Structure formats: C-alpha cells, structure tokens
C-alpha cells in the first residue's frame, strides 16, 4: 500500500471517510437488488413519482422496462404489488411495509390500506434448532426444563416461532424462540434503511419534516425489543400488572425461570380467535359486549396507563370460555406520555363533537402545528377532512382513517411527523377492523367516548393538576443535588479546557460548509448501478 494511502487510512478522519465509502458502496449494491426485485413486481411507482434527481429517475424507469414483470400481477392494485415485493425482500422489509401502512401521508390512503394486510408469516425453522437454542440459553437439557415439548410450532413469524410445552412442574406453557441468525440479518437491513433515511434527510430538505431518521429509529427500537425476549416478557408483565384485577381483559403470566434473551416462556392461554364470529356466537358469547370490552381495554391502556398493546391483530386476541379477551404476543408495545394523552383526548372529543376550533387549538398548543400558522385555516381544513367521515353512519366512522386523512394536510401547515403517534394510529386502525368484523353495527370509539370524557374531567380537575404538580416538584427536588453536581463539573471543565468546537462547526463558521445538494456523481453512480443490475 502506498505510504500516503497508509497515512490517510490511519488518520481518524481518513478512516471515517473510508468506512463511509465502504458503507455507501455496500448499501448501493443492496439498493440495486431491492430496486430490481420491486421492479419485477411492477411496484416502483413511489420512486417514479418522486422528485429524485433525473439520472436516478432515468435508471429506475430503465429498470422497470428491463426487469420483466412477474406473471399474475396484472389484476392487483399498486399497493398489493408493493406488499408482495416487500414480502419477497424479507423480514426487515415486511416490518418497513407495516410501518408505512400508517403513513398515508407518504404513500396515499389506498396503498396504506394494502400494506396493512402484510402478513408476518414465514416457514418455520427446524425443531432441532429450537431445542438447541433453548438448551444454549439456559445451559440445561430440554428434559430439565420441560416434561413435554411439541415438535411442530403453533406459529412462525419473521423473528421467532412458538412451540407449546409442559413444564416439569406440569404447567402448560407457550415457548417463543428467536430464529437462528436473525439479529445479524436485521442489523444489516436496519443499517441499510438508516443509510437511506440519512440520505433523504441530507439531500432532500423538503422531506425533513417527515422525519425519516426518526421513523427508522422508531422501527429500530421496536425491532430491538422483539430481538430481546426479556424485554417482551417485561412488557407482558407490566400489562399483566395493569389488568391483574380485570375480568374482561387478561394477560398470561410470564415464566421468568424459563425466559432469557432468545427464549420466552409464558402461561399457555386457551380460547377462540376473536375474528371467528360464528364459533363465538355458537358458544353463546355476546358479540356486542366483546366489542365494548375491547374498546374499554384499549381506552384503559392508552389513557389510564399510557402503555398499550400495539399489535392487536386477531391472531393475538383470543376469547376464553368466560368471554374474557386474552391478549398474547407483547413484542410491539407503545407508550404515550401524560401530556400527549391529554392532547389526544381533547383532539378525539373535538372531532366527535365537531368542535373544529378545539381541534385546531389543540394541534397548535401541542406544537404539532407551528404557532405561526392560522388557527382558523387549520380548523377549516380539519372540518373539510372530518365531515365526510363523521357524516357517515355511526358504524362506518373511523377515527384512525380520520387521523390518516389529517396527515394529508401536513405539508400545507408545516406539521411534523409525530413518531409517538404513528404506532397508536396503526393500532387504532387494526382495532377498528377487528371491532367491525365482530359487530359491524357498533362503533367502538363511540363506546369509549364516555370513558374518555370522564377521564379528561378527572385528569384535568384542579385537584388532579395540583397533585401532579406536587409530584413533579418532588421529583425535581430529588434530582436537584445531581443537577448541581453536573453543573459544577461542567463549569470546572469549561474553565480548564475552554470551548471545543466540532470540525464541521469550524468549517461552517469559516464558510467552507459543504453543500447538501445531491452531488451529480452520486446520481450518475446510482443510475449506472441500476443499468448494471438489468444487464
């Protein structure tokens, strides 16, 4: 290696640039593979319709023409074709598609609907691998942990699969085991998605309000929880504690002695999937009451606890013989802080009572819409969105659809994406679908409305506000010594070392800050790569 190259590679800045070049080359190659796969499903419309640089759009168009569309796709909608392409690309892209299913502001409402049908089902891995993973996790033989273990899994998804078993103390349990090598596979796919998000954020300033990096960060946090089954067990434990005394909504107990990073064991629950309406009716269950109980449980999770099950598809909800709803699978959970809960409750009540001035005021007060925007204009836009939906028969009103429609005006009013609400919107959409399948004549949000109003009245009462202020003051007093110590350390460091500026800051101050425009050579490189892909 020439001496000057060696010195460049040894220099920290040179090494960082080299690593960046290697990462870019690796990800560009993967992007070409992805584009080619999506092109074969005739689903490159999102990129074709975008404002990407001309060389890239030319390359995409060329790939679409040369890739050769797979048969049997002609009768599918665009979103259905995209869903099939993402399923072909693997687990990380299935998760991305599920995340995009709540971003109708990005992909449009029809495509978002089609992506919401993405199923996270994959062929199971071998029982031998499952047993080996259990023995490696606990350093015990399978026989020391379970008296029986079913070889055939009851469910297999992209991250893990579930086997039924009986413990050595005769307790029926469900055992969830991560797929072999799944951590590395997801790490590579998340690195690619983050690189793409960073590129969008850097080269397309108009897209920054959509917070692509934060969306990927949210996806990464969700995947991280699913990759460490101890975190999922802790989430299940917390939800169990929140509903321990509730007879209508139940959560299985976690078996912590047989739970580790790659294996989760929980109490086995029995029941009928919540969407098997005919079987439930034949068993004598009150279907309308089931919807009411589901609405109540969802309300309690979101507003009372600020901690909710965010994967409420029918496979995760069972109805036991007593009519209680049994929830399983706690890999995807959502949290909402108390202040956001207040805003959300006011927003929902504002829409349900057609008080659009309140809706607009809440959005501005919460900071979702900049204070510089016209409150009256936003109220007018909210009315235009809500009236066509709220004017439908009660059974057809969809608050989740209303929120999705609201996102369509985000650019006009400079609204930024709120990542903490994306998971909630998706969950609302799925819950609505389950409720309608159970009892089409019932609107679950109307059932929950009195609960929300009572909660707001109690939570916003002077007594409640005073108690909350006292609690926050107590927390501040507890943290005060640490804050003083940190402040003292910072002053001492400043006095000794002075102020140190990052090299990028120095460049910016000297007028040498590089342009954030997409370099012509980057667009040309991607276009060439796309041409190579179809050659």
- Say whether both 425 and 467 belong to one domain: no
Q: pLDDT of 238-278, one tens digit each?
A: 999 999 999 999 999 999 999 999 999 999 999 999 989 99
> In 3-state terms, what secondary structure has residue 513?
coil
The pLDDT-based confidence of 104 (bands split at 50, 70, 90) is: low
Kindly report the backbone phi and psi dihedral angles of residue 174, in degrees, each rounded to the nearest multiple of 5, phi listed first: -110, 130
Assign 153 to helix, strand or coil: coil
Please, what is the average pLDDT of the chain?
Answer: 79
- Domain match, 328 and 452 both: yes
Q: Which of 105, 114, 120, 311 is labelled catalytic?
A: 311
Measured at the CA of 31, the angle between CA 25 and CA 34, to 5 degrees, comes to 150
- Looking at the structure, do residues 203 and 59 belong to the same domain, yes or no? no
Mean pLDDT, to the nearest integer, of 8-12? 55
pLDDT tens digits, 158-203 = 889 999 999 999 999 999 999 999 988 888 888 888 888 888 777 7
CB under 8 Å to 462, separation ≥6 — which residues? none
**329 assigned to active site:** no
Helix (H, G, I), strand (E, B) or coil at 275: coil
Contact between residue 472 and residue 466 where contact means Cβ atoms under 8 Å apart:
no
**Do residues 346 and 362 lie in contact, with contact meaning Cβ atoms separated by under 8 Å?**
yes
- Residue 320 confidence (pLDDT) above 60: yes
Question: Which is nearest to 303 in space by CA: 254, 276, 342?
Answer: 342
Let me know if residue 104 belongs to a domain: yes
260 within domain boundaries: no
Domain-embedded: residue 143: no
Same domain? For 470 and 425 the reply is no
Beta pairing class for 325-327 and 249-250: parallel
- If residue 147 lies in a helix (H) or strand (E), which one and from where to where? strand 146-149
454 and 527 in a single domain? The answer is no
Does 36 fall in a domain? yes
Say if residue 63 is in the same domain as residue 90: yes
- Angstrom CA distances, 417 to 49, 207, 213, 219, 339, stand at 21, 11, 11, 14, 17
pLDDT, residue 35, reads 81
Indicate whether 527 and 393 sit together in one domain: no
* Weakest mean pLDDT among 64-68, 126-130, 279-283, 486-490: 486-490
Q: Which helix (H) or strand (E) holds 344?
A: helix 338-352
Q: What is the pLDDT of residue 407?
A: 63
Three-class secondary structure assignment of 438-480: HCCCCCHHHHHHHHHHHHHHHHCCHHHHHHHHHHHHHHHHHHH
Looking up tokens 């510089």 gives 372
Query: Would you tell me the crossing angle of helices 212-227 and 229-242 to the nearest 10 degrees?
Result: 90
Terminal alpha carbon distance of the chain: 34
Task: Please give the pLDDT value at position 255.
Answer: 97
Say yes or no: 448 and 473 in one domain: no
Same domain, 346 and 451: yes
Q: What is the pLDDT of residues 371-397, one digit of tens each?
A: 888 889 989 988 888 888 777 776 677
Banded pLDDT at 49 (limits 50, 70, 90)? low
Question: Residue 413: which pLDDT band, with cuts at 50, 70 and 90?
Answer: confident
CA dist., res. 43 & res. 64, Å (int) = 9
Give the pLDDT confidence of 460-481 residue by residue, as tens digits: 666 555 555 555 555 556 666 6
* Contact predicate 307/238, CB 8 Å: yes
Residue 58 has what pLDDT? 72
Give the pLDDT score at 514: 43
Degrees, nearest 5: CA angle 74-78-81: 70
pLDDT at 523 (0 to 100):
45
Rounded distance, CA 227 to CA 10, Å?
35
Residue 207 domain boundaries: 183-223
Is the pLDDT at 316 greater than 80? The verdict is: yes
Same domain, residue pair 415 and 315: yes
In this prediction, residue 107 carries a pLDDT of 73
What are the tokens at 188? 């590579």
Structure tokens at 209: 């309000």
pLDDT at position 162 is 96
Edge-to-edge strand ranges of the sheet holding 249-250:
249-250, 325-327, 317-319, 272-273
What confidence tens digit (pLDDT) does each residue in 206-246 have?
666 667 787 788 778 878 878 899 999 999 999 999 999 99
Q: For residues 495 and 478, what is the distance between their CA atoms, to the nearest angstrom?
A: 28
CA distances for 21 relative to 234, 323, 404, 500, 518, angstroms: 40, 58, 38, 27, 16
Indicate whether 37 belongs to any domain. yes
Residue 417 belongs to a domain? yes
Are 437 and 291 found together in one domain? yes
Residue 430 and residue 388 share a domain: yes
The structural domain count of the chain equals 4
263 belongs to a structural domain:
no
Instruction: Examine residue 165 and state whether it is found in any structural domain, yes or no.
Output: no
Least confident piece of the model among 129-143, 157-171, 422-436, 508-522: 508-522
Residue 305 has pLDDT above 90, yes or no: yes
Report the SS3 class of residue 174: strand
Highest-scoring range by mean pLDDT, 4-8, 132-136, 435-439, 515-519 = 132-136
């Amino acid at each position: 290696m020439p001496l000057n190259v060696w010195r460049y590679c040894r220099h920290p800045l040179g090494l960082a640039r080299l690593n960046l070049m290697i990462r870019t080359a690796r990800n560009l190659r993967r992007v070409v593979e992805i584009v080619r796969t999506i092109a074969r499903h005739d689903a490159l419309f999102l990129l074709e319709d975008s404002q990407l640089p001309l060389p890239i759009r030319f390359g995409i168009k060329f790939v679409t023409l040369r890739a050769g569309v797979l048969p049997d796709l002609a009768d599918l909608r665009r979103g259905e074709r995209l869903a099939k392409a993402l399923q072909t690309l693997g687990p990380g892209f299935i998760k991305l598609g599920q995340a995009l299913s709540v971003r109708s502001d990005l992909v449009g409402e029809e495509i978002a609907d089609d992506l919401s049908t993405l199923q996270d089902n994959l062929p199971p891995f071998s029982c031998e691998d499952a047993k080996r993973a259990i023995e490696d996790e606990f350093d015990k033989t399978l026989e020391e942990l379970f008296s029986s273990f079913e070889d055939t899994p009851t469910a297999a998804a992209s991250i893990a699969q579930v086997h039924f078993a009986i413990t050595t103390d005769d307790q029926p349990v469900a055992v969830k085991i991560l797929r072999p090598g799944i951590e590395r596979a997801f790490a590579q796919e998340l690195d690619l998605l983050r690189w793409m998000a960073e590129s969008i954020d850097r080269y397309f300033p108009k897209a920054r309000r959509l917070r692509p990096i934060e969306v990927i960060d949210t996806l990464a946090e969700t995947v991280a929880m699913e990759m460490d089954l101890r975190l999922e067990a802790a989430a299940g434990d917390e939800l169990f504690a929140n509903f321990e005394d509730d007879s209508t909504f139940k959560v299985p107990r976690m078996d912590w002695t047989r739970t580790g990073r790659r294996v989760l064991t929980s109490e086995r629950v029995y029941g009928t999937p919540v969407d098997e309406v005919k079987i439930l009716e034949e068993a004598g269950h009150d279907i309308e009451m089931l919807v009411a109980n589901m609405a109540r449980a969802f309300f309690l999770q979101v507003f009372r606890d600020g901690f909710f099950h965010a994967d409420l598809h029918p496979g995760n909800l069972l109805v036991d013989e007593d009519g209680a709803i049994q929830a399983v699978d706690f890999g995807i959970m959502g949290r909402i802080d108390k202040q956001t809960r207040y805003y959300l409750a006011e927003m929902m009540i504002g829409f349900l009572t057609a008080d659009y001035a309140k809706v607009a005021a809440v959005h501005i007060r919460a900071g979702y819409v900049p204070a510089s925007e016209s409150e009256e204009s936003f109220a007018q836009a909210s009315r235009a969105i809500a009236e066509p939906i709220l004017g439908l028969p009660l059974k057809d009103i969809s608050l989740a659809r209303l929120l999705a429609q609201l996102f369509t005006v985000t650019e006009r009013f400079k609204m930024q994406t709120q990542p903490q609400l994306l998971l909630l919107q998706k969950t609302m959409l799925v819950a609505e679908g389950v409720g309608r399948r159970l009892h089409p004549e019932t609107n679950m949000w109307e059932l929950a409305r009195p609960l929300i109003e009572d909660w707001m009245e109690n939570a916003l009462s002077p007594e409640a506000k005073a108690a909350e202020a006292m609690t926050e003051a107590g927390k501040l007093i507890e943290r005060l010594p640490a804050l003083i110590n940190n402040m003292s350390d910072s002053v001492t460091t400043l006095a000794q070392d002075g102020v140190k500026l990052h090299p990028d800051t120095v460049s910016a101050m000297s007028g040498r800050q590089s342009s954030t425009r997409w370099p012509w050579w980057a667009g040309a490189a991607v276009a060439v790569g796309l041409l190579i892909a179809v050659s």
